[in-house]
Amino acid sequence: MDRKLRAASNLSNGRSRWTRAIAVSLAVAGTGLAMWAAVPTPAAAQQASGQSMSVPLAPDAPDTYVVKTGDTLWDIAGVFLKYPWYWPEIWYVNPQVQNPHLIYPGDVLRLVYVDGKPRITLGTAGAVRLSPEVRVTPLAQAIRTIPYDILMNFVQRPSLLTRKQVDKAPRVVGFRSRHILGSTANELYVKGLGSPPVGSEYTIVHVGTALRDPDDGDLLGYVGHYAATARTITTTDRSDDEGLTHLTVLDNGREIQQGDKVFPADAKFGDDLVLSAPKDRKLNGQVLAVVDGLAVAGKYQVLAINRGKRDGLAPGNVVAIFARGVEVRDRYSRGQDWTKFTATYDKVTLPDERNGTLLLFTVHDRMSYGLVVESTQPMRIGDFIKHPDFGHSDTGMEDFIR
């Protein structure tokens, strides 16, 4: 073959090979792009599943979230969910991991879909943790469901007391040096403490207003007012009574009176809470009291309600708080001149409105204590409680109708 023809042929073949290579590359790249484009986003996966969402996600729910110091589980659940109490429905609990409910700062939470349903998985350093591993972070640093310091302050200085607590708690019986009332640096005597070690500290609480169930008037408990913190000096054993414990007052918030109740100052809250909704979707109750005897409550304040274990409630349950619609006078009704009052006015009842969300942390038989975790308006004694889904059409419950 002519040298020029051979060179042209080689060039032609080379161009063909390059053309085919480029074509194949583009095809592969196109396939890759198509495959990449086909990977569903969380919203797309939800839509493609063809299933209605029983767990409404937050509109801007991220694919991943890195847990930070100071976070609470309630806040984290709100990052992914429209209604945080549905957290157990999407939390992937790996039975192989010890304490599967615990989350720590630095953990990476991922939103994934399994059979079209959202799930949150737990990982660290870019990998989903699905096998046992050694946890070097102290247990005390685990993320709490709600602010732990607020709960501890409530437990150590009880502000809402059950009738059983008041009946059984040790009590102040007298003061040294013939004092009638006690204050800082005074000494007092307590009956019913037994023989506590010297140096043990206690909280003294004055029993206040009685809490009665508005349904039947039964006594449920009392409002407690912090009086003082005291420390044990010595214990006196006496055969004629329960024995007396001698204490000195470290600080006080009000005068200490005979009959005030005494509680351990080192009380512990116990295990953390698992978010959940009450089993009874027809739950209906009422706010009995606001901690510290206040008239209104906002976020991170403690409320007492007249429902408890016998109503199916448990620690970690979330309930909604509604303000009752008040009755007003429509003084400009009946077709009168809008600038003038009318003596024959109509009465109009304003609608009930949701004011906040309460997370229960202590549940007794007929009453419970909870922390306000969401607040849109002030909450008051007499507001009523319902299942947290009440009034949300996207959770499958009927809209709220008075």
Q: Helix, strand, or coil here: 22? A: helix
Q: Helix, strand, or coil here: 312? A: coil
Tell me the H-state helices in 299-342: none
Residue 92 burial (CB count, 10 A): 15
**Residue that the structure tokens 């009842």 belong to:** 349
Instruction: Point out which residues pair with 52 in neighbouring strands.
Output: none
Beta-carbon contacts of residue 338 (< 8 Å; ≥ 6 apart): 332
Cα distances (Å, whole numbers) of residue 249 to 1, 23, 190, 207: 115, 88, 12, 18
Which token pair is 33? Answer: 């792009």
Q: Running DSSP on this structure, what letter comes out for residue 51?
A: -
**Residue that the structure tokens 């979230």 belong to:** 65
Of 155, 154, 126, 148, the closest CA to residue 69 belongs to: 148
What pLDDT sits at residue 178?
85
Q: Do domains 156-264 and 284-395 have the same CATH topology?
A: yes
What pLDDT sits at residue 210?
94
Mean pLDDT by 10 residues, the chain (402 residues): 38 44 38 32 37 71 92 92 90 65 86 87 56 48 85 86 92 91 90 90 94 94 93 74 85 93 84 88 94 86 95 96 88 62 75 94 94 93 94 53 38
What pLDDT sits at residue 130?
44
Which token pair is 314? Answer: 């448990």
Of 289, 307, 296, 288, the closest CA to residue 386 belongs to: 307
* Element holding 238 (H helix, E strand): none
Q: Domain residue spans in the chain?
A: 64-143, 156-264, 284-395
Of 112, 130, 96, the closest CA to residue 62 belongs to: 112
Whether 383 and 319 have beta carbons less than 8 Å apart is answered as no
What pLDDT sits at residue 241?
55
Q: Helix, strand, or coil here: 41? A: coil
Distance from CA of residue 79 to its chain's centroid? 14
SS3 of 179-213: the string is CCCECCCCEEEEECCCCCCCCCEEEEEEEEEEEEC
- End-to-end, the C-alpha distance of the chain in Å comes to 98
Beta-carbon contacts of residue 41 (< 8 Å; ≥ 6 apart): none
State the amino acid at position 259 in one-letter form: G
Beta-carbon contacts of residue 179 (< 8 Å; ≥ 6 apart): 186
156-264, which class in CATH? mainly beta
Residue 383 burial (CB count, 10 A): 25
- Residues 46, 282: Cα–Cα separation, whole Å: 29
Q: Running DSSP on this structure, what letter comes out for residue 91?
A: B
Which token pair is 402? Answer: 């008075």
**Residue that the structure tokens 């000494």 belong to:** 187
State the amino acid at position 182 in one-letter form: G
What pLDDT sits at residue 336?
57
| Domain 284-395: assigned CATH number | 2.40.10.410
